[in-house]
Amino acid sequence: MTTRPGPRERLLDAARDLTYTQGVHVGVDAILKQANVARRSLYQHFGGKDGLIAEVLRADVGEARYRQVMDEAGDDPRRRVLAIFDELEKITTRPSFRGCRYTSAELALTDPAHPAHAEVRAYKDGLHQLFTTELTRHGHPDPSLGADQLLVLVDGALAHAVTRPDSHPALAARAMAELVLDRAPQP
Amino acid sequence: MTTRPGPRERLLDAARDLTYTQGVHVGVDAILKQANVARRSLYQHFGGKDGLIAEVLRADVGEARYRQVMDEAGDDPRRRVLAIFDELEKITTRPSFRGCRYTSAELALTDPAHPAHAEVRAYKDGLHQLFTTELTRHGHPDPSLGADQLLVLVDGALAHAVTRPDSHPALAARAMAELVLDRAPQP
């Protein structure tokens, strides 16, 4: 027996789905309808649509998914980093792929005061820390710079794949990630 | 003496400006107001807002600007390619920078039938050809793959800079572009 999710969870689910397929400018009414929730619940739980959008990004499983992919690849930092690009190749070649949720939100929300921007920043900073840790273990001469480079590759693969998926940008990025990793002193 | 631009040019100017600062979901009325043009002109010249958005992307000077930056860097293909990343560092650190116009449009227009998608694709394919030409001249062992890699770096620098400009992603991308170029057989 499963319990039906409450209004808060239903709002998050509907917003997660609709903002990905239709963009963050999707109407509030469409979200309320899909969630089958009254407008007052939106305000009670999130203070309004902006708060809901920010919470979708904060609560997203993106970083946890990166950790999971790395952990499934074992303990070797080089294999753990490259596993991310293998995963990106899978994600970016799915028919349902519509780009990176965080980049899309960041670009579409042109008001710098929108609360979603802080969530996008926190997410990217989290990934930077994740990569820095792996590159440090790998013996990279400049783990923070290397992590910046890996983030450019991740964002580049995700952004480019929306327009030219047939060029397999995640594989192109993977080959460059190998070059970044090979800057590490060899054992 | 300068001639005042006609309605077509005023519509393009207003749309170019407003879609960049406010996104492609900016209202038609705001575009008409800034262009100081009647609604019927929009339909006469572009068939509607979708046609205007597509024309802004088609007519954009992006690729010409890349060519110009390369030409100013001289004849050496390595220097010509790296000059692009020096230019990206300038662009992405300007306070007015709000991301790549093409990526933003591609992500925001979730209707696959929107005419803008073909323009974005044509633009990226044009850049791919531009880079392929330089890498061929440079003696790169796989110019088409190398061009795919450079495009991932360009899109990655532009996408990542919106969120973490202080990490100077264009410089991180430049260092990787050097690694891509160094795959070429040395003379």
Under an 8 A CB cutoff, do B169 and A162 touch?
no
At A172 the pLDDT is: 97
What are the tens digits of pLDDT across the range B135-177?
Answer: 999 999 999 999 999 999 999 999 999 999 999 999 999 999 9
The predicted structure's pLDDT at residue B90 = 96
Among B121, B163, B169, beta carbon nearest to A163 = B121
Residue that is written with structure tokens 């996104």 in the block: B23
Average predicted confidence (pLDDT) for chain B:
93
Q: Does residue A148 surpass a pLDDT of 80?
A: yes
Tokens found for residue B139: 């003696």
Closest by Cβ to A164, choosing from B124, B158, B160: B124
Confidence label for B102 from pLDDT (cuts 50, 70 and 90): very high
Please indicate if any CB of chain B lies within 8 Å of the CB of A92.
no
Average pLDDT of A141-159?
Answer: 97
B97 interfaces chain A, CB cutoff of 8 Å: no
- Nearest Cβ partner for A110 among B22, B102, B157: B22
> Is the pLDDT score of A187 beyond 60?
no
Quote the CA–CA distance of B122 and B128 in Å, as a whole number: 10
The predicted structure's pLDDT at residue B150: 98
Q: Indicate the pLDDT class of residue A56, thresholds 50, 70 and 90.
A: very high
**Is the pLDDT score of B112 beyond 60?**
yes
Q: Considering only CB atoms, which chain B residues are within 8 Å of A152?
A: 153, 156-157, 160, 169, 172-173, 176
CA distance B111 to A143: 40
Is residue B71 very low, low, confident or very high in pLDDT (cuts 50, 70, 90)? very high
A163 touches chain B (CB under 8 A): yes
3 state SS for B78-89: HHHHHHHHHHHH
Domains of chain A: 7-58 (1.10.10), 60-182 (1.10.357.10)
d(CA B134, CA B70): 10
Q: Is the pLDDT of residue A173 over 70?
A: yes
Q: What pLDDT is attached to residue B185?
A: 61
Q: Report the b/e string of A38-69 with b at 16+ CB within 10 A.
A: eeebbeebbeebbebbbbbbeebebeeebeeb
Residue A186 has pLDDT above 90, yes or no: no
Flag whether the pTM goes above 0.90.
yes
